[in-house]
Structure 1
Amino acid sequence: MTEPPGPDTTGLDPALAAALARLGDAGTLLVALDFDGVLAPIVPVPSDARPLPDSADAVRELAGARGTTVVLLSGRGLADLGTVSGFTEPVRMVGSHGGEYGPGLTDGDASLLGPEQQDLKEKLTLALVDLVEGEVGVTLEHKPAGVAVHVRNAPPEVGARVLDAVRAGPGTWEGVDSTEGKAVIDLAVLQVSKGAAVDVLRERLGADAVFFAGDDVTDESVFTRLRPGDVGVKVGEGDTAAEHRVTDPEAVAAVLRALAGHRR
């Protein structure tokens, strides 16, 4: 019988290619992936983001591989993440930086907010609506656990002014957790992080190893928690604790195809 061709590692850094090969032998593998800037290119209108076709195909192949669980781990709200990604089971999802766990990952309500947190979220929303009113190019993204202030499409001086006001205002409130990303501040009424979410997923799934790819500063909380045998890939420029780096979402597609080949 002819052996199937091995994974295509053309163009991959040799150290990364070797790390992916080792993950092929992991008994139970958690593949956790940020969405924007990793599976999907960054676009001016967040609702227009879609995963690259090659990455989407590789994600689906990985999700169907034995002993492999694929989880999208994003700052987006869970419902929004499902809409823009287009993925369904067996691909699983965690939204709001770990504030919402989708089907297959939790037994209860996806929302983690109690009555006091709901009240605080309402006050936070009103304050941010007032703060950004009339500011050109500034948008609010409403999430189950809080609100994100986006300034990606604002003039630089407007964006800087608004973010400074958020940092000095609602970002200082007791009970509000502030997470800064690229041209965005995410305010939540409970403490969450992607790193903590990966810890939870690792335990719940009994994962022997973790692969994680992320591009934003919020993803560093995962990279700093990775253990020997795990593989972290930083997408794009910037300081990082990740051991490996690729240039852009197109390069991520090649990495995921290689990993899927090793898990076949």
Structure 2
Amino acid sequence: MKLLRYGPKGQEKPGLLDASGAIRSLTGILPDLAGDALSPGVLAKIAALDPMSLPKVEGNPRLGQCVTGLTNFVCIGLNYADHAAETGAAIPKEPIVFLKSLGAVCGPNDDVIIPRNSVKTDYECELAVIIGTTARHVSEDDALDYVAGYAIANDVSEREWQAERGGAWDKGKGFDTFGPLGPWLVTKDEIEDPQNLAMYTDIDGKRMQNGSTKTMIFGVKTLIAYVSQCITLHPGDVISTGTPPGVGLGVKPTPVFLRAGQTMKLGIAGLGEQTQKLVPWAM
């Protein structure tokens, strides 16, 4: 299933995408795509429904972030061998874990705001793992049992704040709109192997990232098990699993960062596509 949230910001309703690409309303069946609504039992009940029996949503509504009510937005740094190489970083011996501000999360096609005075805003196409069952001290063998599904995340980053202003990476990752998520949550039964998904990013139509989850250093199972040792993961929580090579920071000989007016388009096989326009900070 492809589950989504649609409507104006702050007024989103739950829905699903039918086989024809139309949105079907889940209003009255679910309060929202959050918390226990992502449990295996509830997802099984939704899967048993005939999508054609659900009200069709007319028009082309805005898509919101595909899950809400997150407790944790966990991100993993330098988790692709080829991305580590392009940045000149050593291969991590353990996953690099940081948290993205929950205030950064936005819809998959919402505008992304370049922070005031920023000259080093960057993009990162990532596979997002969405938790469906509370996970605490889980094993790698059992890790996928705790997954509701997968989605695309854009781990937008301001590199100066991330690496040149002292302290943790979180500062460069948590600006408003720096966490587009969606367009939908694809339940895990539709993704045969999360370690074999092609992924890409285009900037103004130019292919910049062209990678695969095959080159992850630490796979999805390992990350869930590892993170659950130090952070209790709750239904709706997200683990964004790192990015392949091709980010602006890695362009040689001179990094190329984002500018207002540009358009980002990101996609992962089986998970759809998201598009954001970059706009200047104007407050």
Structure 1 and Structure 2 fold alike (TM over 0.5): no
Write 1 or 2 for the structure with the bigger share of strand. 2
- Look at both structures and tell me which one has the larger radius of gyration over its CA atoms: 1
TM-score normalised by structure 1 residue count: 0.23
**TM-score normalized with structure 2 length:** 0.22
Q: Higher helix fraction: Structure 1 or Structure 2?
A: 1
